[in-house]
Amino acid sequence: MTSAVSDSIEDRGVAWLDQHRAEQDEEGGRLARIRSAISRLEDDPGALFEQSILDDITSVRQESPADWQRIRAAAKKAKVQVGELDKLTKTLGSGEGGEMFPTVEPWPEPVDGVALIRELSDTLRRFVVCDPEVADAAALWITFTWFIDEVHVAPIANITAPLANCGKSTLLEFMETFVYQPLKCDGISPAALFRSMDRWQATMLVDEVDTFLRDNEDARGVINSGHRRNGFIIRVVGDDHEPKRFATWGAKALCGIGSIANTLASRSIRLELRRKMPHETVENIRFMPPELRQRLQQQLARLHEDLADTVAAARPTPVPGLSNRAADNWEPLKQIADAVGGEWPERLKAVAITVTRMDDEEQASDVGTELLKDIKGVFEEKKANSIFTADLTEALWADSEAPWNTWNRGKPMSARQLSAKLADFGVRSKQIRIGSSTKKGYRKEDFKDAFDRYLPTDTPSQSETAKQSHNHGDYSDFPNETESPGVSDAKRCEPHNHAGRFDVSEETPRPSGKNREVF
């Protein structure tokens, strides 16, 4: 390489570095000036509305939505009218369609958080068939996204089902409607993923995650790193491969069939859905009334405005019966439940225990339907209502065209493997008595719900065990004061929501967490 060429490359490198440093200094100067203005607000209420400061805030709002939200939160804490600040710094932002994340104007009056979260849960069940505990967990998770700056753990919402057509994408769309700063990012590359997290601190919503994360260690690592506040990764950027830190903290929802990697599952709250049966009716989410959508969004924004300090100061005791990691995942939701009060502190305990106990092993794919179909055939062929596990496995092995005789790497499916597959559908073996013998086995009646849901017939099933027939009927004793309108299924029996009783004892409180970071 000639000296002239070498000097030219060096000059360009120096020029780039000088420009990069100048940009960093300019950005740092803006934030420093804004912080200074906020600190002067007590003595000078108009400090934040000086034109030079407004220009700085407008630039930050365009270039770093995450910093803009921190500025807004700090201004709100200083009793500034943030609505006026929103108007004075509003620009077209990202593209022709408006801002990347349009500002949601808070509801003009104080909000009853107890009723709001309950209404979110009930509204979800208008559009998705799911257990009441799952709906409650989803409603609390949606609310948590609005308090992302006040909590220290960001549990992943793991939307899953054993097979297709169970409402997963509908639940994700429901979340996209109500979470804080939603960013749908199907098929996003790992590089775009961590850059988006760093730039916007949005609620990342990823569909078809069973395809997206397959053999993608880099993407899994990026998502894992954002589980706790101040999570980040380091990547090299630019022609000179300069190391740069990218923040990955934020709320994330993953949607797909079956299980996710263990490292992700341990950082998740599992929202497992089930297929709708013929007699179960839900509404089309595309026709959600706009006034309902707007009201709930504004009320969530107002709830955050009113309870941000309370949630940030909360140091909840762990939910009894959960492991350390599971307790961490539920901690921010418990902070919110404790802050809103009412029925939610107790209800959350029951919801957390129920949802956490849902089996998190590898879920069934289409092979699950085939297994259920063959088991149903065994019961019918033998005209039996009960069958020992050993007899069931032998009957499955007998069909040379089925996969069960070579399931275990060329060997027959074991009793343990059968048990694991059936657990995906909520069916578990138990001690049964046939004649004079008592052994582990299965009862035909225990398969009724799975047969009805995943082996549909032309005749609608009138299942007596369908959980959708009553809202929250088995674990809570609080009546629903805000019945959701518009549920059109006349066949469904809907006694008062959250009926029943439960009792969960407390444990010793954990030590206080980290101090809150405001801005």
- Spatial separation of the C-alpha atoms in residues 341 and 187, rounded to whole Å: 39
pLDDT at 56: 85
pLDDT band for 465, please (50, 70, 90 cuts).
Answer: very low
pLDDT at 366: 60
Label residue 431 exposed, middle or buried (CB < 10 Å: 0-12, 13-18, 19+). exposed
| 501 pLDDT above the threshold of 80 | no
Is 153:315 a contact under the CB 8 Å cutoff?
no
Measured in residues, the chain has a length of 519
- Average pLDDT, stretch 233-262? 86
Among 160-169, 387-396, 460-469, the range with the most confident prediction by mean pLDDT is: 387-396
Instruction: List the structure tokens of 380.
Output: 């019918």
pLDDT value for 327: 92
Distance CA 180, CA 314 (A): 20
Nearest CA to 51 out of 37, 63, 69 is that of 37
Of 89, 104, 125, which residue is a domain's last?
Answer: 89
Instruction: Tell me which range, 57-66, 338-347, 408-417, is most confidently predicted by mean pLDDT.
Output: 338-347
pLDDT the model gives residue 19: 47
Q: Which of 153-167, 323-337, 350-364 comes out lowest in average pLDDT?
A: 350-364
CB 205 within 8 A of CB 169: no
Higher-confidence residue of 491 and 385: namely 385
List the beta bridge partners of residue 246. Answer: 233
The rounded radius of gyration (Å) of the Cα atoms in the chain is 27
Task: For residue 355, tell me if it sits in a domain.
Answer: no
Q: What percent of the chain has pLDDT over 90?
A: 41
d(CA 253, CA 297): 18
Residue 273: exposure state from Cβ atoms within 10 A (0-12, 13-18, ≥19): buried
DSSP, collapsed to helix, strand or coil, labels residue 443 as strand
Q: Which two tokens stand for residue 502?
A: 């439960």
Write down the pLDDT at residue 99: 61
- Indicate whether 204 pLDDT > 70: yes
- Distance between CA atoms of residues 457 and 50, nearest Å: 69
Q: Is the residue at 53 inside a domain?
A: yes
| Plot region of 498 (φ>0 → left; ψ -120 to 50 → alpha; else → beta) | left
Domain boundary among 52, 70, 89: 89
Does residue 84 lie in a domain region?
yes
The answer to whether residue 427 is domain-embedded is yes
pLDDT attached to residue 91? 60
In 182-234, which ranges are continuous DSSP H helix? 190-200, 209-212, 217-225
Residue at 144 is within a domain: no
For residue 222, being part of any structural domain is answered with: no
Asked if residue 112 is part of any domain, the answer here is no
The span from the CA of 89 to the CA of 74, in Å, is 16
pLDDT of residue 68: 77
What is the DSSP code (8-state) at residue 439?
E
pLDDT at 320 over 50: yes
Quote the pLDDT of residue 270: 93
* pLDDT category of residue 33 using cuts at 50, 70 and 90: confident
DSSP string, 57-112: HHHHHHH-HHHHHHHHHHHHHTT--HHHHHHHH----SSTT--SSPPPPPPSS---
Q: Is residue 385 part of a domain?
A: yes
Can you give the pLDDT at residue 13?
Answer: 46
Residue 273 reports pLDDT greater than 80: yes
- For the segment 286-293, the average pLDDT, to the nearest whole number, is 96
Highest mean pLDDT pick, 33-42, 196-205, 350-359: 196-205
Closest of 276, 279, 277 to residue 128, by C-alpha:
276
Tell me: the pLDDT tens digits for 74-128? Answer: 887 777 777 777 777 766 444 334 467 878 889 999 999 999 999 999 999 999 9
Report which of residues 514 and 264 the model is more confident about.
264
Q: Which residues, 6+ apart, have CB-to-CB distance to 409 below 8 Å?
A: none
Residue whose pair of structure tokens reads 């405001």 in the numeric block: 518
Categorize the per-residue pLDDT at 26 as very low, low, confident or very high, splitting at 50, 70 and 90.
low
Q: How many domains does the chain have?
A: 2
Residue-level pLDDT at 67: 78
Could you give the 3-state DSSP secondary structure of residue 444? Answer: helix
pTM value? Answer: 0.61
pLDDT tens sequence across 382-401: 999 999 999 999 999 998 87
- How does pLDDT run across 404-461, given as a tens digit for each residue? 988 877 789 999 999 988 988 889 999 999 999 999 999 999 999 999 888 865 433 3
Q: What is the pLDDT at residue 494?
A: 42
Q: Is 493 exposed, middle or buried (0-12, 13-18, 19+ CB in 10 A)?
A: exposed
Parallel, antiparallel or unpaired: strands 386-388 and 437-443: antiparallel
- Give the residue numbers spanning the domain of 77: 12-89
296/293 Cα distance (integer angstroms): 6
Report the pLDDT averaged over residues 364-377: 80
Give the pLDDT score at 485: 41
Dump pLDDT digits (tens) for 173-190. 999 999 999 999 877 788
Residue 303 — very low, low, confident or very high, per pLDDT cuts 50/70/90? Answer: very high
Q: Look over the chain and give the mean of its residue pLDDT values, rounded to a whole number.
A: 79
